[in-house]
Amino acid sequence: MQATDPKIFPRHKIMSVMKLRIGLFILTVFLWRSTNAQTAQPCSKNKKGFFYFAFGSHRIFYTPSTIHVIRTSDSFFDFKLIEAKGHDEGGLKFDEAPQFSYTLGYYFKDGKFGIEYQYDHIKYFVRQNQVVRLKGRIANEQFDQDTVINPDFFQLEHSDGGNYAMINLVKWMPLTPPTRKVTLELILKAGVGLVNPKTNSTILGQHRDDKYHISGYVLGVESGLRICLGKYFFATGSLKAAWANYTHFLIWSGYGKQQWCSGQFEYMVGCQFPL
């Protein structure tokens, strides 16, 4: 925000009560202070930095992906479902474990950056009754054809979480002077982490409700707005883009592979504590 914004420091009121020379002096001082405020730590006048945490929910959308499943036991198969579509559970719902996100972090005043741990409890469901390309082997038969996904053939959910666990580098850029009681900041993040899904699958009649399992990795970037309410409280809304590679999730007597890009809208509330 420009220091000469009349809503912050109306110049015409100064000129109406003071001589021109005094007004120019005050304006010069104001410009100097505003310039320095842009490099100050946003939200709070802390010493070295502050610890913060936030909790909220999200909506997430997935690109079509190829699901590759392999079973090496008696009912052998090794096939791919190409361009399969999936969806989330719809955001903040409490009839099941809700889709949630949280962050724990520390922001360094001198370095003007932060580092945080972010966990997104995402959910993924393969859409039923969609047509995909089936390619591979089931028992002794080879397939390369369009097929319909239905419960008798294939069900797959990362429904107790596809679960992004990431370490992020964080930058907050003030959009309003930090002297206000309510301030606004731009959020920038980039991170890397692990995916830790709990997969529920029924493939050709064989069901497995799996345990949590580290299955691959995720890369992501995020940008949004942070509203600070006084010294200790804030709320955020942001958009996140990620690429997740599930190299080894578990199914009955076998494993699967899958990768996708996702777009995510996150909303959180949180607290911060100067240290």
Cα angle for residues 191, 197, 201 (degrees, 5° grid): 150
Q: What is the mean pLDDT of residues 159-177?
A: 94
Residue 109: per-residue pLDDT: 83
- Tens-digit pLDDT profile for residues 62-81: 999 999 999 987 779 999 99
- Tens-digit pLDDT profile for residues 8-47: 434 433 343 344 344 444 444 443 443 344 444 455 454 6
Residue 93: per-residue pLDDT: 67
Question: Which of 68-77, 89-98, 244-253: highest mean pLDDT?
Answer: 244-253
The mean pLDDT value of the chain amounts to: 84
Q: What is the mean pLDDT of residues 50-69?
A: 96
pTM as predicted: 0.80
Q: Which of 273, 167, 270, 272 is nearest to 222 (CA)?
A: 167
- Tens-digit pLDDT profile for residues 125-143: 999 999 999 999 998 899 9
Angstrom CA distances, 133 to 140, 146, 259, stand at: 19, 4, 16
Residue 170: per-residue pLDDT: 97
- How many helices and strands in the chain, by DSSP H and E? 2, 17
